[in-house]
Amino acid sequence: MAGELIRMEHIEKSFPGVKALDDVRFELRAGEVHALVGENGAGKSTLMKVLTGVYPKDKGTIYMNGQELTIKGVRDAQEAGIVMIHQELNLMNHLSAAENIFIGREFKKSGNLFLDKAKQNKEAKALFEKLNVDIDPTVRVGELTVAKQQMVEIAKAISFDFKVLIMDEPTAALTDNEIEDLFRVIRMLKAEGRSVIHISHRLEELQDIADRITVMRDGAYVDTKNIEDVTVDQIIKMMVGREIFVTKQKDFEDVNAPVTLEVKNLNAGRMVQDVSFKARAGEILGFAGLVGAGRTETMRAIFGADRYESGEIIIKGKAVKITSPKVAVENGIAYLSEDRKQYGLALGLDIDQNISMADMRSFINVFGIINKKKSMENSEQQRNALQIKTPSLKQKVKNLSGGNQQKVVLAKWLTRNTDILVFDEPTRGIDIGAKNEIYKLMNELADQGKTIIVISSELPEIIRTCHRVIVMCEGRITGEVTKEEIDQDVIMGYATRRLA
């Protein structure tokens, strides 16, 4: 096989109760960008963690240049030139860029006692120059953007003179320009004969960057193709193993439906300036805009998660001063955060405990004793309604996949039965099958007369699900698009203020 660098064969890996990898193979050529795709829980990350020595494999063989390669730990993989950049970057925010790159391999002055910071900074600068990125080696990493932090990780990888670089969802948090810059660097690495494994959920971008693509599904290998031989639709079909059913929402007809939430001249810091809007019962209202447009900040202020300085919030005709999430919830607003692990779930607690958390008072008797049976009945009902896949409701939430975790958050708020539900990036990090289920649920909830607000940075998602779209840019509302005019270009125009 021409230029084969890595070959993994018959890889198996089990965790308690789950077979994460089942007879998987993977092959990587020198100097190629190889996309690895699959739904969440398909086993991509596990396979890469086996390759980088994070997890020991149960069975199977890994070859490098035709020789069997024993990987017992991260060190072995590093020595073989295999480096991974995780989605959650492994940088120390309080150290400088240069210190991060050379951590554990610091340059010393003669005598081996003192650190040679000048040399360290010079070496780091050389790496950044090579990558053609503008980063000061002495700046603290915490002050850099995510995109630049990524470049620091890449520079670190280059300093190890890697042969294989694995990037887990590197573009998830980047803007279009930053993605372009990242791809430029990836192409440069490729031209040097290095290989890159690119794990991504954004299938559209793969055509630009990848040479070949390997698809995984349910812990098994599906196929490997040249990228020019497949379309996005075909990739999706391979990933989910079934036809994709595209949710089309019902038109929202009742323009006279009661206004459930009205916001007037809301101000909260730089990110929320003079925001006013109305949302009706039964409506799905989208909030579009670029990352950092102030949409999350607006909703957090309305939910009482952050304080607002001025403005009026009117819920079902009644002006309410929202001082805390507790007040918001009591007035019928629920907020599903974009970062469910940090803000949505108690990961160490079980599914039942999480589902009941926002509505504990309806599960206690007059003596304050929790009726666990009642709580379990409700959780069981939610589990069936939302199709949460788990062997038991006593399972800890941290053991669930992203899609199932999102369903637990949703179940929590459905238990509380609020009239207004704010979904902040509801399908981030969720696989396509689960995405459709979430869309379907949003439609059902709207049909029941609830008000749904969706913040999403994925325009197709907004276009597909919303009845009306409000567009924000730099903390202000710059446009409103009704059903008839919902269109990618119009929204992008408002989002970048071209039409404002």
Q: Which amino acid is at 279?
A: A
CB count within 10 Å of CB 229 equals 9
> Does residue 112 belong to the site contacting other proteins (CB under 8 A)?
no
Window contacting other proteins (CB under 8 A); options: 78-86, 138-146, 150-158, 329-337: 329-337
Burial class (CB in 10 A: 0-12, 13-18, 19+), 397: buried
- Taking CB under 8 A as the criterion, the residue among 346, 387, 447, 499 binding other proteins is 346
> Does residue 287 belong to the site contacting other proteins (CB under 8 A)?
no
Task: Name the phi and psi angles at 316, rounded to 5.
Answer: 50, 50
What is the 8-class DSSP label of residue 115? B
Angle, to 10 degrees, between the axis of helix 432-447 and the axis of helix 402-416? 10
Toward other proteins, which CB reaches closer, 235 or 420?
Answer: 420
Toward other proteins, which CB reaches closer, 221 or 303?
Answer: 303
Distance from C-alpha of 463 to C-alpha of 346, rounded to nearest angstrom:
32
Instruction: Say whether 48 sits in a helix, a strand or coil.
Output: helix
Residues within window 49-108 making contact with other proteins, judged by CB under 8 A: 55-56
Residues within window 359-378 making contact with other proteins, judged by CB under 8 A: 360-361, 364, 368-370, 372
Toward other proteins, which CB reaches closer, 313 or 328?
Answer: 328
Structure tokens at 38: 């699959």
Smallest separation, CB 47 to other proteins (Å): 16
> Does residue 290 belong to the site contacting other proteins (CB under 8 A)?
no
- Taking CB under 8 A as the criterion, the residue among 353, 405, 451, 465 binding other proteins is 353
> Does residue 21 belong to the site contacting other proteins (CB under 8 A)?
no
Task: Name the phi and psi angles at 350, rounded to 5.
Answer: -85, 175
H/E/C letters for each residue in 1-14?
CCCEEEEEEEEEEE
Toward other proteins, which CB reaches closer, 167 or 355?
Answer: 355
Toward other proteins, which CB reaches closer, 305 or 492?
Answer: 305
User: What number of chain residues touch other proteins (CB under 8 A)?
Assistant: 32
Smallest separation, CB 344 to other proteins (Å): 6
The site map against other proteins for 392-431 (x = CB under 8 A) is --------------------x---x---------------
Toward other proteins, which CB reaches closer, 311 or 325?
Answer: 325
> Does residue 303 belong to the site contacting other proteins (CB under 8 A)?
yes
Q: What is the distance of C-alpha 405 from the center of its chain?
A: 13
Distance from C-alpha of 334 to C-alpha of 87, rounded to nearest angstrom:
28
Smallest separation, CB 411 to other proteins (Å): 12
- Taking CB under 8 A as the criterion, the residue among 358, 388, 471, 473 binding other proteins is 358
What is the 8-class DSSP label of residue 36? E
Toward other proteins, which CB reaches closer, 220 or 305?
Answer: 305
- Taking CB under 8 A as the criterion, the residue among 10, 202, 326, 497 binding other proteins is 326
Q: What is the distance of C-alpha 389 from the center of its chain?
A: 20
Toward other proteins, which CB reaches closer, 265 or 371?
Answer: 371
Please enumerate in sequence order all residues whose Cβ is within 8 A of that of 74, keeping only pairs 6 or more positions apart, or say none: 52, 53, 54
Window contacting other proteins (CB under 8 A); options: 138-146, 177-185, 203-211, 356-364: 356-364
Contact 472, 295 (CB under 8 A): yes
Distance from C-alpha of 69 to C-alpha of 63, rounded to nearest angstrom:
5
Q: Nearest-5° angle of CA 458, CA 463, CA 469?
A: 95
> Does residue 308 belong to the site contacting other proteins (CB under 8 A)?
no
Smallest separation, CB 86 to other proteins (Å): 15
- Taking CB under 8 A as the criterion, the residue among 342, 366, 484, 489 binding other proteins is 342
Window contacting other proteins (CB under 8 A); options: 32-40, 323-331, 423-431, 459-467: 323-331
Toward other proteins, which CB reaches closer, 276 or 324?
Answer: 324
Toward other proteins, which CB reaches closer, 349 or 500?
Answer: 349
- CA-based nearest residue to 452, from 437, 467, 470: 467
Toward other proteins, which CB reaches closer, 13 or 148?
Answer: 13
Instruction: Say whether 470 sits in a helix, a strand or coil.
Output: strand
Distance from C-alpha of 281 to C-alpha of 448, rounded to nearest angstrom:
9
Toward other proteins, which CB reaches closer, 163 or 340?
Answer: 340
Q: Which amino acid is at 499?
A: L
- Taking CB under 8 A as the criterion, the residue among 180, 330, 447, 487 binding other proteins is 330
Structure tokens at 322: 């929202």
Please enumerate in sequence order all residues whose Cβ is within 8 A of that of 16, keeping only pairs 6 or more positions apart, or say none: none
> Does residue 335 belong to the site contacting other proteins (CB under 8 A)?
yes
Smallest separation, CB 368 to other proteins (Å): 5
Contact 106, 120 (CB under 8 A): yes
Beta-sheet strand order (sheet of 272-280): 272-280, 259-268, 310-315, 318-320
Q: What is the distance of C-alpha 315 from the center of its chain?
A: 31
Which residues are near other proteins by CB under 8 A? 55-56, 303, 305, 324-326, 328-330, 335, 337, 342-349, 353, 357-358, 360-361, 364, 368-370, 372, 412, 416
